[in-house]
Chain A
Amino acid sequence: MQLTIHEAQQLLKNKKLSSVELTKAYLERINKVESKVHALVTVTDELALKQAKKADQLIAQGDTHPLTGIPAVIKDNMCTKGVRTTCSSKMLENFVPPYEATVVEKLNSCGVVTVGKANMDEFAMGSSTEHSAFFPTHNPWDLNRVPGGSSGGSAVAVAADETVYALGSDTGGSIRQPAGFCSVAGLKPTYGRVSRYGLVAFASSLDQIGPLTKDITDCAIVLNAIAGYDKRDSTSVPSPTPDYTRCLTADLKGLAIGVPKEYFVSGMQSEVETSMRAAINKLEELGAKVDWEVSLPHTPHALAVYYIIAPSEASANLARYDGVKYGFSYGDTDNMWEALEKTRQFGFGDEVKRRIMLGTYALSAGYYDAYYLKAQKVRTLIRREFDQAFEKYDALVTPTSPTVPFKIGEKIDDPLQMYLSDVCTLPINIAGLPAISIPAGFADGLPIGMQLIGKPFGEETILKIAYAYEQATEWHKRKPEI
């Protein structure tokens, strides 16, 4: 199949296929490949068929949205009413939310068909999906390699054609890095563009929800459906959302694109660098004016800023898991403090504990100024640097990751090495900017992603560049054989 949203939509509209038939085909595909890729924590087949029947009625009445009747996968950190939402953690293994996340509510109102909930690094903390408490997800381009993370399940579900598209969340690269590793499109919108209501919080000043899709047109269609102000998220921004499909034109004339040289870091794989240079040359051919000598000198500080701020916010957000209101609860004691500590000891996995420890340390008396406050100040400098660059350029372009997908197990015992795989993506969350990863090449059959970074609320510009590049290249048409 490997249908895009707009292709599936044509089939449904022209009555070549019903949503029920389409949904059954995807459920069969899941049945066939899931034992190899392990992308889904929960397959919601009953719900999907119910939603598909309803979608077929809507289509018969001519009452449709571009997403009506089309299968989707949702990362398992977005609340789905009546469908368990685990965050791939033992802590929430049996948690069934009593309400829908805003993005899920919005998709439901479009007549979406949810086929499953995607595996992830526990509480979205990780870059390989190996930190899932249930099972690691495998990259469909090489089953011995990681799909990236934390939205690894979402990216693999799209790449392995278990769904037409998926939603992921991105705190330091968790949509873009797996999109790059799996050769799909993945967009992190500007902080505040998409409501976080019902997204299980990891680092509240960095988290943002976005689409993972088979092409750029689909990315714009899904963003149209999920973007916008929500009074239930006080950090969502009350500005109007454009129709993102209208900016998709294949001409880049008049656009200035900068290449920040600090992103071509030491330790970058030579094939990634070669692919990037070729891809940027292509942007130039398409009419963009490219400046290869942009400098963002605070880039090397972003890793430390991120790994202080994100764990600090996480340590506060995850204090809610106390075994009282929901989730795992250690019952084998009468002592309240012991129950609390044991609940968290057995409910959380290694990486989550590591980050809680790190964040608690950075916020503790005596260390707050040296770590947390210092990181917040350098955060200001990083944002200012981007603001200055965007006075001259419409977009910036970098690799999504310094390497192709690494082997399962390769970095699991070395947290710092794992953190370094997000070195190109996390500065963008620190500054709250929009960025997209798109397929831009292969090295020995393994995907390479290109990252386009936009001004705050400049999603249209990066979608336009991504679209023009996609129209001029064939990378997105290559599919893995499973």
Chain B
Amino acid sequence: MQHIALLARLGVTEAELERFREQLSNILENFQILQQVDTTDVPPTSQSIPLQNVTKDDKVAPSLPPDDVLANAPQREGELFRVKAVLE
């Protein structure tokens, strides 16, 4: 559980971990039903429509104005998003 929370970069409290552990094992147990299904030679489906490799022309088009894009930034500096130091 702790490892999964770390992979998801999700802060969780001890109490939450305990609750999730119980609930998720109950749900995962229910998923065992799939192991009864024979899927030999069955290809996986990732989406339900017969489109493949949708491409578009590489054309220059106007983007949103920087001020609009940055308007929701928790912290900005000029025309940049401000982030905390990655390397210390």
User: Residues of A at under 8 Å CB distance from B?
Assistant: 94-96, 98-99, 191-192, 205, 231, 234-235, 237, 298, 300-301, 303-305, 307-308, 315, 319, 323-329, 331, 333-337, 339-342, 344-346, 348, 350, 353-354, 356-358, 360-361, 364, 370-371, 373-381, 383, 415-416, 419, 430-433, 456
**Which residues of A sit under 8 angstroms from B5, Cβ to Cβ?**
357
> Assuming A305-B34, A380-B43, is B51 touching A337 (CB within 8 A)?
no
Closest to A345 in B: B11
Contact B24 A205 (CB under 8 A): no
Contact with A along B56-84 (1 / 0, CB 8 A): 10000000100011011111000001011
**Which residues of A sit under 8 angstroms from B34, Cβ to Cβ?**
301, 304-305, 308, 374-375, 378
**Selected A-B contacts with CB under 8 Å, 24 pairs:** A99-B64, A192-B49, A237-B51, A301-B33, A304-B30, A308-B34, A324-B74, A326-B72, A327-B72, A335-B84, A336-B83, A341-B9, A341-B11, A353-B12, A358-B27, A361-B4, A364-B7, A370-B35, A374-B37, A377-B37, A377-B44, A381-B37, A432-B49, A456-B48
**Which residues of A sit under 8 angstroms from B26, Cβ to Cβ?**
415-416
Question: Secondary structure at chain A's binding surface: helix, strand, loop or mixed?
Answer: helix
Tally B residues with Cβ within 8 Å of A.
47
Q: A323-B74, A336-B86 are in contact. List 6 more A-B contacts (CB 8 A).
A: A99-B64, A192-B49, A300-B33, A304-B34, A341-B9, A378-B39
Residue of B4, B8, B33, B37 with highest tally of chain A CB at under 10 A: B8
Bound together, the chains give a CA A430 to CA B45 distance in angstroms of: 9
User: Nearest Cβ in chain A — how far from B50, in angstroms?
Assistant: 9
**Which residues of A sit under 8 angstroms from B84, Cβ to Cβ?**
333-336, 339
> Assuming A323-B74, A335-B84, A357-B5, is B46 touching A205 (CB within 8 A)?
yes
Bound together, the chains give a CA A106 to CA B86 distance in angstroms of: 42
User: Residues of B at under 8 Å CB distance from A?
Assistant: 1, 4-5, 7-12, 16, 20, 23-24, 26-28, 30-31, 33-35, 37, 39, 42-49, 51, 54, 56, 64, 68-69, 71-75, 81, 83-86
User: Nearest Cβ in chain A — how far from B56, in angstroms?
Assistant: 6
User: Nearest Cβ in chain B — how far from A282, in angstroms?
Assistant: 31
Bound together, the chains give a CA A76 to CA B5 distance in angstroms of: 28
Bound together, the chains give a CA A444 to CA B15 distance in angstroms of: 40
**Which residues of A sit under 8 angstroms from B69, Cβ to Cβ?**
98
> Assuming A192-B51, A329-B75, A336-B83, is B11 touching A377 (CB within 8 A)?
no
Contact A345 B48 (CB under 8 A): no
Bound together, the chains give a CA A307 to CA B1 distance in angstroms of: 18
User: Nearest Cβ in chain A — how far from B74, in angstroms?
Assistant: 3
Contact A357 B51 (CB under 8 A): no
Residue of A99, A205, A357 with highest tally of chain B CB at under 10 A: A357
